[in-house]
């Protein structure tokens, strides 16, 4: 199981546009990626490709989340997703 932590860099939190960009990227992978707030049990992790789950997570600017995935290419895939979370998409 590959695992990464990331800190939300978007000023508005993981909402709207940043959430859409992230969910879309997670959905394009051949892997099942989960997302959870740091410290929450693995079994409560949510589907990272679900925009509704992401919004329900209520992750604000500065919140740390944990991404997990299993299988071939998991490490590279998670690195890419961490990159998305740690970019301030509203500053573009």
14 CB-contact burial (10 Å; exposed 0-12 / middle 13-18 / buried 19+): buried
63 sits near other proteins (criterion: CB under 8 A)? no
68 sits near other proteins (criterion: CB under 8 A)? no
DSSP state of 28: T
Task: Provide the minimum distance between the beta carbon of 50 and other proteins in the complex, in angstroms, as a whole number.
Answer: 4
Task: Provide the minimum distance between the beta carbon of 22 and other proteins in the complex, in angstroms, as a whole number.
Answer: 10
Q: Which residues of this chain interact with other proteins, rule CB under 8 A? A: 12, 15-17, 19-20, 23-24, 27, 46-47, 49-53, 55-56, 58
């Amino acid at each position: 199981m590959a695992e990464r932590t990331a800190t939300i860099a978007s000023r508005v939190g993981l909402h709207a546009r940043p959430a859409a960009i992230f969910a879309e990227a997670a959905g394009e992978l051949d892997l099942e990626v989960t997302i959870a707030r740091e410290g929450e049990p693995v079994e409560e992790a949510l589907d990272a490709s679900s925009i509704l789950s992401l919004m329900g997570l209520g992750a604000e600017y500065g919140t740390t989340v944990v991404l997990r995935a299993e299988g071939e290419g998991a490490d590279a895939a998670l690195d890419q997703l961490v990159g998305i979370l740690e970019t301030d998409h509203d500053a573009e």
